[in-house]
A and B are shown apart, each in its own frame.
Chain A
Amino acid sequence: MATLARLQARSTTVAHQYYYRNSVVDVFRKKENDAAVKIQSWFRGCQVRAYIRYLHRVATIIQKQWRGYLGRQHYQLIVKLAYYTMKMNLYNAMAVREAEFRDYEASSVSAEIWGRATTKIQRRWRGYKIRKYCFNYFYLKEYLKAVSETNDAVRKALEEFAEMKEREEKKADLEREEKKRDYQARKMHYLLSTKQVPGIYNSPFRKDPDPWELRLQQAKPLTHRRPKVKTKHSVSLSSWLACTSARSFSRSGTLPPIDRKRCQGPFRDVAEVWEQRYKPLEPTLRVAEPMDGLNEARAQLQRQEWTRNVNDNMFLPFSSYHKNKKYIPTMHLSSKYGADAYGSQHFRDENPKKWICDKDFQTVLPSFDLFSKYGKLYSKAGQIV
């Protein structure tokens, strides 16, 4: 009851409230309604327009089809007409050509048409067959053209080849001749004119000297033939090293001019320099000796032994009497240690327990540059005062 009483108490205020709120809303109602109408009208407009567009599209398709259909029908008509006129022209032409074969007229028109068609086909086919299997004029023409082109190319190439050969030959001839003339000029160099006496090619009564004169001027006189010195054949290292022997000092060639002035400056004597420069190779002992000398010596020894036919199998007596007896070697042979070679020296104690380290001694033989070059260079670096 208390609640009812509370509600009743509030009913007036509620009515007031209600009225009041409605009146407040009424102010906007008109405006909202207008807005709703506007939205609806826009939306519906869109809908309808879309629908109309759709209808238009469909209508266009239908129209297109229909008009295409009509056009095709019309076109067929035109083609048929054209075909007919063409056919008629052909028939007329054929009829004129085959005027003499009038007896065919008796046959029906359709048979004639078929006959014409077959001749047409036959004509095409026969042409094709002959071109393909028997004779093709254009192919032949093409082929002959290609052949003549290759012919031209070959002719040109051969011509060039022959020309090249000829040129080479001419050049070789000229060179040979030039060489010959050069040699001649060198040989006749003594005919060159001097300051006092004109040579035979330089006649004073002529305006110009003979061309030989010029050639003689340029030529170098032949040197006197020197007797051939037989080269000694030796198998030393310097002989097979061609680089050293070819440039060896003053073995050949002419002597330097006598009246040459000495160069200014603190230079060594020329001869000394040359000697240093072209001295033959003097290899150190290690280089000069073959590096596998020991092995070679061993191999040599083996070969000798083999030739002397020393048997290294144990000697066995051949008679059957001793067959079961074992051969007793002598003390020397049976000894495990063997005899020391005469004069052998031990640089190390034989008892390994006295050794400081377990390793064997290594043989090291460094070359001693100072000694091998001593006195052979003009630098005084190695000299001990």
Chain B
Amino acid sequence: MSQRQVLQVFEQYQKARTQFVQMVAELATRPQNIETLQNAGVMSLLRPLLLDVVPTIQQTAALALGRLANYNDDLAEAVVKGNILPQLVYSLAEQNRFYKKAAAFVLRAVGKHSPQLAQAIVDCGALDTLVICLEDFDPGVKEAAAWALGYIARHNAELSQAVVDAGAIPLLVLCIQEPEIALKRVAASALSDIAKHSPELAQTVVDAGAIAHLAQMILNPDAKLKRQILSALSQIAKHSVDLAEMVVEAEIFPAVLTCLKDKDEYVKKNASTLIREIAKHTPELSQLIVNTGGVAAVIDCIGSCKGNIKLPGIMMLGYVAAHSENLAMAVIISKGVPQLSVCLSEEPEDHIKAAAAWALGQIGRHTPEHARAVAVTNTLPVLLSLYMSTESSEDLQMKSKKAIKNILQKCTYLPALEPFLYDAPPNILKYVVGQFSKVLPHDSKARRLFVTSGGLKRIQEIKAEPGSLLQEYINSINNCYPEEIVRYYSPGYSDILLQRVDSYQPFTN
């Protein structure tokens, strides 16, 4: 045996290993192959290859593992149970950048499925090495590490706290400032995932000076980056007034409004979410948004998109209108009500309808003027039909009922109220009749119109329990009219008249 022949054996073995790992990594990209691979015991075969002497084989093995773990949580759990993680974490600190990338990918794939799996990663001490990877020279490694950290942090507050304790935030903020768009994107998304859980976590993100850098990039042309930036800002702003004010102070305001005109739907959605999160805190912040023309931009945005993208915008209008009557008036003069009523009647989804109904209720509940503005767009019948419809969800019914109540209690616009006399259920009829009883004693024209349009007749037909609120209202309406008219319109009066005719004895002589 010559030396060459001996070496040939080793060479063949190495080639076979390489080929196997590459094939497995290739096969793992297709979902239909995964089950077969799993049944063939791919996990136990890949594990020793992670410790192979050849670096390329190690990397490819890690890549294959990551792809498998990405597929479902059973496989991810298998990775955890196979004690592969400590190995990965150990080599994450030691190996070259390709391996680091692959290992971070495996951690990300495992951690994304459930809090337990993410906790398992944290227990292996992966966070510290991932944070060290954030300081790496190669942007690809940074990206992979930031991604993994974001996926770990997104599950719950404890995991995010663990990520924060590992010191990731300052480095993530540095990553935002890097020139690579992909890295910026991933870092912003990780910050958003960290900030979303609690005010304290959001405060730590703010303390690292993230807001200024995030706010700078709102006008970036890259749509995906914009999505993440806006989402991060809204996750920061949603917790408290102070944080929202910090976000506003970064002078995001005219710039965010341009995002509402973006081509990308999610940019629009995240921008309106950000505005909503800011507006919901205080009347002052809402006022600021109104003064910069944000309400008009949001209303235009609602008009230009459909489906779930509308939802945050609709809620924002509701929040702004709920704060004070002046702000509600601002929403009305920005032509918000017609847009909302269009949403109410044309959206197929119940939860969006419910949000629109709620927003309309918030707009209309302040003064008769507001209620009138809502009523003239003919929304009340739509709300009523939504309330009465058996197809609409419970939440939608509740919301529309509340909205009807809120609006009716302030409405003095009688033409809009009149249809309600005929087709409203008793619990709503109460409010309608109440409004009539308040208006009619003071308005002679309305009194006349009420008789000629048959309202008075309808009032007489209502069966009310004596002593109830409804009866009181009816009585006060009846008091506005002469007795003959009331009697004339009350049911059964014709019979009484006929009886009198029957019993009348003409005076004959």
Contacts and interface: CB of A to CB of B under 8 A. Distances in A.
A138 to B, nearest CB: 14
Interface string A125-153: 00000000000000010011001101111
Contacts of B294: 154
B290 interface: yes
A147 B258 contact: no
A116 B332 CA distance: 42
B297 A147 contact: no
B333 A144 contact: yes
B92 to A, nearest CB: 36
A161 B258 contact: yes
Contacts of A243: none
Interface in B279-315: 290-297, 300
A155 interface: yes
Given A148-B334, A150-B293, A151-B334, A143 B258 contact: no
A158 B261 contact: yes
A196 B296 CA distance: 68
Interface string B325-358: 0100110011000000000000000000000000
A165 B262 CA distance: 9
A162 interface: yes
A162 B293 CA distance: 16
B333 to A, nearest CB: 5
Q: 10 closest A-B pairs (Cβ-Cβ)?
A: A154-B293, A151-B296, A162-B261, A150-B293, A147-B330, A158-B261, A148-B333, A151-B334, A151-B293, A155-B296
Nearest to B326: A140
23 contacts: A140-B329, A144-B326, A144-B330, A147-B290, A147-B291, A147-B334, A150-B291, A150-B292, A150-B293, A151-B296, A153-B293, A154-B292, A154-B293, A154-B296, A155-B293, A155-B296, A155-B297, A158-B257, A158-B258, A158-B261, A158-B297, A158-B300, A161-B258
Chain A interface SS verdict (over half): helix
Contacts of B257: 154, 158
Most-contacted residue by chain A among B258, B260, B330, B334 (CB, 10 A): B334
Nearest to A162: B261
A145 to B, nearest CB: 9
B4 interface: no
B220 to A, nearest CB: 13
Contacts of B297: 154-155, 158
A147 B333 contact: yes
A344 to B, nearest CB: 52
B442 interface: no
B260 A158 contact: yes
Q: Which of B261, B293, B295, B297 has the most CB of A within 10 A?
A: B293
A162 B258 CA distance: 8
A158 B330 CA distance: 19
A165 B263 contact: yes
Interface in B71-110: none
Contacts of B296: 150-152, 154-155
Contacts of B258: 158, 161
A234 B300 CA distance: 62
Nearest to B295: A151
B282 to A, nearest CB: 18
A144 B333 CA distance: 8
A117 B34 CA distance: 95
A163 to B, nearest CB: 9
Given A144-B333, A148-B333, A155-B300, 5 more contacts: A151-B333, A152-B296, A154-B296, A154-B297, A158-B261
A106 to B, nearest CB: 33
Interface residues of A, number: 16
B326 A143 contact: yes
Contacts of A161: 258, 261
A192 to B, nearest CB: 40
A144 B329 contact: yes
Contacts of A152: 296
A140 B300 CA distance: 24
Nearest to B258: A161
Nearest to B221: A165
Interface string A199-221: 00000000000000000000000
Nearest to B290: A147
Nearest to B304: A162
Contacts of B333: 144, 147-148, 151
Interface string A38-80: 0000000000000000000000000000000000000000000
A143 B292 CA distance: 13
Nearest to B330: A147
Contacts of B329: 140, 144
A142 to B, nearest CB: 12
Contacts of B293: 150-151, 153-155
A99 to B, nearest CB: 22
A165 B295 CA distance: 22
Max chain A C-beta neighbours (<10 A), residue from B258, B261, B263, B326: B261
Interface string B246-274: 00000000000110110100000000000
A154 B263 CA distance: 18
A151 B326 CA distance: 15
Contacts of B300: 155, 158
Contacts of A148: 333-334
Nearest to A169: B263
Interface in B346-378: none
A42 B295 CA distance: 95
A100 to B, nearest CB: 19
A149 to B, nearest CB: 9
A147 B292 CA distance: 8
B268 to A, nearest CB: 11
Contacts of B261: 158-159, 161-162, 165
Interface in A250-283: none
B440 to A, nearest CB: 24
A155 B258 CA distance: 10
B478 to A, nearest CB: 27
Nearest to A140: B326
Contacts of A153: 293
A140 B333 CA distance: 12
Interface string A10-37: 0000000000000000000000000000
Contacts of A165: 261, 263
A147 B300 CA distance: 15
Contacts of A159: 261
Contacts of B263: 165
B297 to A, nearest CB: 6
A150 B296 CA distance: 9
A154 B91 CA distance: 55
A84 B292 CA distance: 56
Contacts of A162: 261
Contacts of B330: 144, 147
B100 to A, nearest CB: 30
A294 B292 CA distance: 69
Interface in B215-267: 257-258, 260-261, 263
A162 B261 CA distance: 6
A250 B27 CA distance: 52
A41 B268 CA distance: 109
A59 to B, nearest CB: 70
A161 to B, nearest CB: 5
Interface string B191-207: 00000000000000000
Contacts of A154: 257, 292-294, 296-297
A140 B326 CA distance: 8
A226 B263 CA distance: 43
Contacts of A155: 293, 296-297, 300
Interface string A323-344: 0000000000000000000000
A155 to B, nearest CB: 5
Contacts of A150: 291-293, 296
Nearest to B331: A147
B417 to A, nearest CB: 26
Contacts of B295: 151
